[in-house]
Amino acid sequence: MHWIDPSSLPAVTGILERFVLNPHGEVDGFVMRTGDKDVLVHTPPHMEAELTRHIKAGDPVDVRAVKPRGADVLAAVAVTGANGREIVDHGPDEEREHPKHDHHTMDAEGTVRLSLFGPKGELRGALLTDDTVVRIGPKEATDMAELLAPKATLAVRGDGIDTRFGRVIHAREAGASLNSLAPLKHAKPGPKHEHGPKPKHGPKDGPKHGPKPKHGPKHDHAHA
């Protein structure tokens, strides 16, 4: 169960435009239209069954959510559909498994409509204008953030799934075009020391300031 009380959060109202998929082909959010703006809403996959049963594209929805810093996404705690049914994040079912889908190698090329984020604001891919969902690991996505920004041209190839809510590609290669694809690899951080190697110390058992002077013979303080 989510630790936040949904009633303590303001409601954001819009029209559900389409669902968004994760790399397993599960619904983990949706895009809704609020005025003249598209808003990305993240919902955990365990809410999929209730969401898709009670809400469909074109329905008005009220979303009670938290917004992470620096990312255009609402992490939903509760969603209310046109029928008044409130769907609350009660936590995952321990016996829940990923759905079984046929996976195929797929590619896509087009213009980014929206950047996709995880619930904490981590960049996780993009939604293209042809409605293809592209998913990329958060570390790799950070390295190619410019290609995942709205209006950017993006091409990918990877493990794809077709579902009743559209297709999703878990990208293994990406680039600005299908002719310039490159494998996705996260750049490893450089060495910690930026000003050359740390100088080595001399032998541990060597003298630091020369040999220690010896004391003379002990003084006899007894009186003659």
Confidence of residue 206 (pLDDT cuts 50, 70, 90): very low
Half-sphere exposure of 84 (CA within 13 A, CB side): 0
pLDDT surpasses 60 at 65: yes
- Residue 208: CB atoms within 10 A of its CB come to 6
Are 27 and 36 in contact, with CB atoms under 8 Å apart? no
Tokens 């559909």 sit on residue: 81
Confidence of residue 92 (pLDDT cuts 50, 70, 90): confident
User: pTM for the full model?
Assistant: 0.79
pLDDT surpasses 70 at 72: yes
Average pLDDT on 71-89 reads 94
Domains and CATH numbers, the chain: 6-88 (2.40.50.140), 104-183 (2.40.50.140)
List the alpha helices (DSSP H) in 37-105. 48-54
Task: List, in sequence order, every beta strand (DSSP E) within 35-122.
Answer: 37-42, 60-66, 74-80, 86-88, 104-117
pLDDT digits (tens, 9 = 90+) for 113-167: 999 999 999 999 999 999 999 999 999 999 999 999 999 999 999 999 999 999 9
d(CA 114, CA 169): 15
**Per-residue pLDDT, 126:** 98
**Per-residue pLDDT, 103:** 87
**Cα radius of gyration (the chain):** 29
- Residue 45: CB atoms within 10 A of its CB come to 19
**Per-residue pLDDT, 4:** 87
* pLDDT greater at residue 106 or residue 219: 106
d(CA 188, CA 190): 6
Say whether 19 sits in a helix, a strand or coil: strand
Are 72 and 81 in contact, with CB atoms under 8 Å apart? no
